[in-house]
Chain A
Amino acid sequence: MNKQQLEKKSVEYRKKILKYIVKANAGHTGGSLSCTDILNVLYNHALNVSPQTFTSPDRDRYIQSKGHCVEALFVVLADKGFFPEENLETLCQYKSHYIGHPTRKVKGVEQNTGALGHGLPIAVGNAIAAKLDKRDYKVYTLMGDGELPEGSNWEAALTAAHYKLDNLCAIVDKNTLQITAPTAEVCNTDPLDEKWKAFGWAVKEVDGHDVDALKAAFDSLPFEPGKPNVIIAHTVKGKGVSFMENNLKWHHGVPSKDEYALALSELDNSLQQAAI
């Protein structure tokens, strides 16, 4: 897909994310909107996976470590045909498999996540298996910036470098916010690039809302042969809806009817502007 097509997709995705969060009266709004463009470019450009190839041992793996932003993942998986979108009407309801975190009961989901700091170690295991089996697939994992203080991430980072996992790509959704406060005030992880480099990783920083920049980053994998890759994606929490952007309240805020209507009109406007 070209830039314009991808940008149009992102707007559609953001609208649907909000739709189902409103329907469920629950969800992680801000973080789903910050990673929408990343998921869009992953599933519509980078990942070699489809509903038909989902059981193939050669498929690319995507593990969403920041599992709380499941709404973004579910909306994209539905769009890619992994399941009918109407299933999302049951999001978070009694007995629904479409719960507030990714689970393998939903087709397209690779791993059950939700407790932060689990995605990277599992991705490392997947990537080691690919090397052992001499398969070409890549393994991607998306992490939050607030998630990084979990020690398991850095244990896995060491293993990844030790095993020279250049088939592994971690993406940090660096939206600079978590629940309590800005990440820099809760537990500062900056300078982040230097930390990953010190752990033996190849680092690229991109604007996480620039679909062309994201495409280029994924296309240039591996960044350095023999090193695991990390993309530090600079993003805006709540991206696309002015009153949600950079506002802590929207970590798991659910829009009211009026806020939802306003958000939709803003997103529609951005679509029209993109078309001009």
Chain B
Amino acid sequence: MAHIEATDPNGFKPNQEIFSEILQALAAKDRDIIAVTSDSRGSGKLVPFGKKFPEQIVEVGIAEQNLVGVAAGLAAAGKKVFAVSPACFLTARALEQIKNDVAYSDNPVTVVGISAGVSYGALGSTHHSLHDFAALRCINNITVVVPADNFETAQATALAATTNSPVYLRFGKRVMNSLKEVNDDTFAFGKGRVITEGNDAAIIACGETVYPAVQAAKLLAEQGINVTVVSMHTIKPLDTDLLAKLAAACQAIVTVEEHSVYGGLGEACASYLMQHGLHKPFRIVGIPDEYTVTGSQQDIFNHYHITKEGIAEVVKGLL
């Protein structure tokens, strides 16, 4: 697969790299931090972690179900465990282990889905994870977090280490742009991060789709349309207070995600709005229910109009 270039020369690093850096900093101070891998430490950027902390990495081989089960056992014995593997395998093949051994049994594992969404675009559906929000949203007792830039990734990783309940972190491979010049926000799971403000429409996005949403807002601002963009990094529990405020303030709401249009961020928002009588023009942008096209992640985003132009069009269509 061709390397994905940062679309902005000020871009930082792939979130996976930030995750690894923070985990190393945490592991240096806390011997109970354990990474569990399934021949996945290279893609998880954890090779330096393994070299520095050989006692704090458990390698199970290519066996994702075993990975999550072992992680649960380690957590049950008091370890702070990060189970790291491509999101596609982790949240499909090992879903029962996540459901029973992590969530239901309340073993505080951080399940880390790497190379998520269509990061492995040209490798086909076996390597896409467009189902993980849906699958995990309907499992009780797991927080689902999708950081959109390096700041959110660092915060989310550190927070997951101190959270005494199951967490799913989802990262892609792309070099991320920073969403704000100054990150003075307080970061908390379940609290959406407002990136730009405007009352004509709201775009609620997560992960790698937040940046094109911000660019769409810029495009729209040039045309006199002012848009609030939210990085809704926590898919569950959803920031319904923020959602209610947006519905009250804006004329239309568009959601964007690197996930099936079924069962993800968009439907989570729709469900809340509908059930609370907050009826605003509303659209979900994501991957439709069809044989997913292949190519680079950017090719796939372009194909499904997950681009600044595509998102701006959808917003305009609602106003």
What chain B residues lie within 8 Å of A4 (beta carbons)?
A: none
Give the residues from 122 to 160 in chain B that come closer than 8 angstroms, CB to CB, to chain A: 122-127
A40 and B186 alpha carbons, distance in the complex (Å) = 60
**Stretch in contact with the other chain, from B104-112, B173-181, B211-219, B290-298:** B290-298
A146 in contact with B39 given A95-B295, A115-B89 (CB within 8 Å):
yes
A179 and B40 alpha carbons, distance in the complex (Å) = 8
In the assembled complex, the CB of B91 is this many whole angstroms from the nearest CB of chain A, namely 12
Cβ contact within 8 Å between A101 and B123:
yes
A100 and B64 alpha carbons, distance in the complex (Å) = 21
In the assembled complex, the CB of A179 is this many whole angstroms from the nearest CB of chain B, namely 5
Task: Tell me if B169 counts as interface (CB < 8 A to partner A).
Answer: no
In the assembled complex, the CB of A68 is this many whole angstroms from the nearest CB of chain B, namely 8
What chain A residues lie within 8 Å of B88 (beta carbons)?
A: 115
**Stretch in contact with the other chain, from B54-62, B225-233, B257-265:** B54-62
Task: Tell me if B279 counts as interface (CB < 8 A to partner A).
Answer: no
What chain B residues lie within 8 Å of A67 (beta carbons)?
A: 126
Task: Tell me if B303 counts as interface (CB < 8 A to partner A).
Answer: yes
Cβ contact within 8 Å between A95 and B42:
no
Cβ contact within 8 Å between A149 and B124:
no
Residue of B whose beta carbon sits closest to that of A100: B123
A26 and B124 alpha carbons, distance in the complex (Å) = 13
Cβ contact within 8 Å between A179 and B63:
no
Task: Tell me if A117 counts as interface (CB < 8 A to partner B).
Answer: yes
A92 in contact with B39 given A26-B1, A146-B62, A186-B61 (CB within 8 Å):
no
Task: Tell me if A112 counts as interface (CB < 8 A to partner B).
Answer: yes
Cβ contact within 8 Å between B122 and A151:
no
Residue of A whose beta carbon sits closest to that of B300: A94
**Interface residues in B, total, Cβ within 8 A:** 33
In the assembled complex, the CB of B2 is this many whole angstroms from the nearest CB of chain A, namely 6
Cβ contact within 8 Å between B293 and A180:
no
Task: Tell me if B65 counts as interface (CB < 8 A to partner A).
Answer: yes
Residue of A93, A112, A114, A150 touching B62 (CB-CB under 8 A):
A150
What chain B residues lie within 8 Å of A95 (beta carbons)?
A: 293-295, 303
A96 in contact with B294 given A101-B124, A114-B127 (CB within 8 Å):
yes
What chain A residues lie within 8 Å of B92 (beta carbons)?
A: 115
User: What 0/1 pattern do residues 51 to 75 of B give for CB contact below 8 A with A?
Assistant: 0000000011111111000000000
Cβ contact within 8 Å between B61 and A115:
no
Give the residues from 140 to 190 in chain A that come closer than 8 angstroms, CB to CB, to chain B: 146-151, 178-180, 186-187
Q: Name which of B120, B122, B299, B303 has the most chain A CB atoms within 10 A of its CB.
A: B122
Cβ contact within 8 Å between B127 and A92:
no
What chain B residues lie within 8 Å of A178 (beta carbons)?
A: 39, 61-62
Cβ contact within 8 Å between A92 and B62:
no
Residue of B39, B126, B296, B299 touching A115 (CB-CB under 8 A):
B126
Give the residues from 267 to 319 in chain B that come closer than 8 angstroms, CB to CB, to chain A: 293-296, 299, 303
Cβ contact within 8 Å between B63 and A150:
yes
Residue of B60, B89, B124 touching A99 (CB-CB under 8 A):
B124
Cβ contact within 8 Å between A180 and B59:
yes
Task: Tell me if A50 counts as interface (CB < 8 A to partner B).
Answer: no
Task: Tell me if B79 counts as interface (CB < 8 A to partner A).
Answer: no
Task: Tell me if A32 counts as interface (CB < 8 A to partner B).
Answer: no
Cβ contact within 8 Å between A103 and B124:
yes
A116 in contact with B62 given A146-B39, A180-B41 (CB within 8 Å):
yes
In the assembled complex, the CB of B90 is this many whole angstroms from the nearest CB of chain A, namely 11
A149 and B89 alpha carbons, distance in the complex (Å) = 14
Residue of B37, B42, B61, B127 touching A101 (CB-CB under 8 A):
B127
Cβ contact within 8 Å between A151 and B65:
yes
A216 and B89 alpha carbons, distance in the complex (Å) = 37
A117 and B89 alpha carbons, distance in the complex (Å) = 11
Residue of B37, B62, B93, B293 touching A149 (CB-CB under 8 A):
B62
What chain A residues lie within 8 Å of B293 (beta carbons)?
A: 94-95
Residue of B whose beta carbon sits closest to that of A97: B294
Cβ contact within 8 Å between B123 and A114:
yes
Cβ contact within 8 Å between B126 and A179:
no
A26 and B3 alpha carbons, distance in the complex (Å) = 10
Residues of A near any B CB (own CB < 8 A): 25-26, 67, 92-96, 99-101, 103, 112-117, 146-151, 178-180, 186-187
Per CB-CB distance, the 6 closest pairs between chain A and chain B, nearest first, are: A187-B61, A94-B295, A114-B126, A149-B61, A100-B123, A94-B299
16 contacts between A and B (CB under 8 A): A26-B1, A92-B1, A94-B294, A94-B296, A99-B294, A100-B1, A100-B120, A112-B126, A114-B126, A115-B88, A115-B89, A149-B62, A151-B63, A151-B66, A180-B37, A180-B59
